[in-house]
Amino acid sequence: MLYFDDKQSLVAEILARYPSSPQGKRSALMPLLREIQNAHGFVSEPHMAEVAALIGTTATEVRSVLSFYSTYHTMPTGRFHLQVCSTLMCALAGSDELWDHLTETLDVQPGEVTADGFSVQRVECLGSCGTAPMLQLNDEGYYEGVTRARCDSLIAAMRAGSAPETDHPVPVVVDADGRQFLATGEAVGANTDSLYPLSTKPKSASSGGSV
């Protein structure tokens, strides 16, 4: 059975967020992928084909989107998925050394999951450059200023069963409806209520100058 076979109302609800045109339908790609990843931890090849069929595109295009965003995974991840920022500021502050230490300590490489539930990934800037080097735990939060000693204590705590509280939650989270929120709970980003056809003026520009 495919993932969405018994979730047709959910599919309909997600598709209804976007215009019914072929292009609009394809806009449902990311929230559909998010549903699968939330359930399985990653998006497999059969799931890519399933989503492609739902929105009228190809599995190749679905894969190309997946591969662009480090937040989507095409292979299983562990209970503790540790993502090390490797962009310039973190690199200058020692993220390469942190990565080597982390992978050697856990004896794991990207795409693998250890028996005790660790997986690792190098990612681009996570917007915490002032506290480099840093790493992100799952979709939950950031550990900042991670020295080797701190890395060791984080791993030890996780191996003991629970991750220490992160220094900050991930700045923007996406809820089940695809809406974006800051850690403070403030809604950010566009939602379907704020969109309007290009042929019309936005509500805020109903008077005055041209748009």
59 or 89: CB nearest ligand FES: 89
Of 103 and 128, CB closest to ligand FES: 128
For 121, residues 6+ apart whose C-beta sits below 8 A from its C-beta are 70, 77, 81, 82, 83, 84, 110
Please enumerate in sequence order all residues whose Cβ is within 8 A of that of 137, keeping only pairs 6 or more positions apart, or say none: 80, 81, 82, 83, 143, 163, 166
CB of 137 to ligand FES, least distance (A): 14
Closest contact distance (angstroms) between CB of 139 and ligand FES is 16
Neighbours of 200 (CB within 10 A): 9
Least distance in angstroms from the C-beta of 90 to ligand FES: 3
Sheet-wide strand order for 141-143: 118-123, 80-85, 135-137, 141-143, 168-169
Residues that bind ligand FES in the complex, under the rule CB under 6 A: 85, 87-90, 125-129, 132, 134
- The H or E element that residue 100 is part of is helix 95-106
CB of 136 to ligand FES, least distance (A): 9
Report the largest interatomic distance among the alpha carbons of the chain, rounded to a whole angstrom: 64
To ligand FES, the closest distance from the beta carbon of 84 in angstroms equals: 9
CB nearer ligand FES, residue 41 or residue 171 = 171
Nearer to ligand FES, 51 or 83 (CB): 83
How many other β-carbons are positioned within 10 Å of the β-carbon of residue 24? 13
Shorter beta-carbon distance to ligand FES: residue 78 or 133: 133
**Least separation, in Å, of the C-beta of 116 and ligand FES?**
27
Q: Are strands 80-85 and 118-123 parallel, antiparallel or unpaired?
A: parallel
Phi, psi for residue 204 in degrees, rounded to 5? -75, -10
Pairing status of strand 141-143 against strand 168-169 = antiparallel
Instruction: Name which of 4 and 142 has its Cβ closer to ligand FES.
Output: 142
